[in-house]
Amino acid sequence: MVVAFDLDDTLYHEMEYVRSAYRAIARKYGAHLLPLMTKASTPADAFASTGVDIKLLLDVYRNHYPDIQLPMPSLYTLSLLRNRGVILALITDGREGTQSRKITALGLDKMIDEDLIYISEKFGEKKLTGGAMREIMNKCPDDIYVYVGDNPEKDFVRGNELGWITVCLKASEDNIFPQNFVEISSEYNPRLIIHNLYEMVDFVNLVNGRRI
């Protein structure tokens, strides 16, 4: 079995990265900015509240080394699956530098083989092309492929076409982008919805027909 994961708002809450960026901005441009940013309802409003040039803020946002940690459900699930022989992969859209620093800060580079980590800018294709999934299938011939993500607008449609089991992690109140299951075509919807990553352990047990 091969199980590939999305990164942002799947393996960790992306708002933790945003808050890390706020702290980095405050360290560079003044501690008085932190309360202003944390009170804002969106990152865009937070940046606007500072009065600092948006280009300077985006530079810090994208290039700072994030102070983030892998949540226990993710750490437990990834560790258990890996230790029991499940092949792990990561498919994420975004800039190579930004996503790579997140992956390192979360310790995912120690849990997932480098050649099975796909960042869209580095790979040269975004998720919606399905290129990363096809390459994983070529590298890791198997009967069962699973993709776990959070965004119905781009995470599941190609997996559905390619015969993957697509799994959506239900959004929490901390998610940056809302989940929209209604205003999209049925082929974009996942085959399964879970409420926390711990459920992936039982799911894999069920699919494999054994306890792991």
Token readout for 197 is 């990553």
Helix or strand or coil: residue 165?
strand
Contact in structure between 60 and 21 (CB atoms under 8 Å): yes
* DSSP β-bridge partners for residue 90: 5, 117
For residue 193, count other CB atoms closer than 10 A to its CB: 15
Ordered DSSP codes for 63-108: HSPP-----HHHHHHHHHHHHTTPEEEEEE-S-HHHHHHHHHHHTG
pLDDT of residue 212: 41
What pLDDT, on a 0 to 100 scale, did the predictor assign at position 114? 95
Cα separation of 32 and 161, whole Å? Answer: 50
Packing angle of the helix pair 43-50, 54-63 (nearest 10 deg): 130
pLDDT for 211 equals 45
This prediction has a pTM of 0.91
Residue of 180, 121, 124 lying closest to 152 (CA atoms):
180
Query: How many residues can be counted in the chain?
Result: 212
From first to last of its 212 residues, the chain has per-residue pLDDT tens of 999 999 999 999 999 999 999 999 999 999 999 999 999 989 999 999 999 999 999 999 999 999 999 999 999 999 999 998 999 999 999 999 999 999 999 999 999 999 999 999 999 999 999 999 999 999 999 889 999 999 998 999 999 999 999 999 998 777 777 777 777 888 999 999 999 999 999 888 887 765 44
Contact present, 123 and 132 (Cβ < 8 Å):
yes
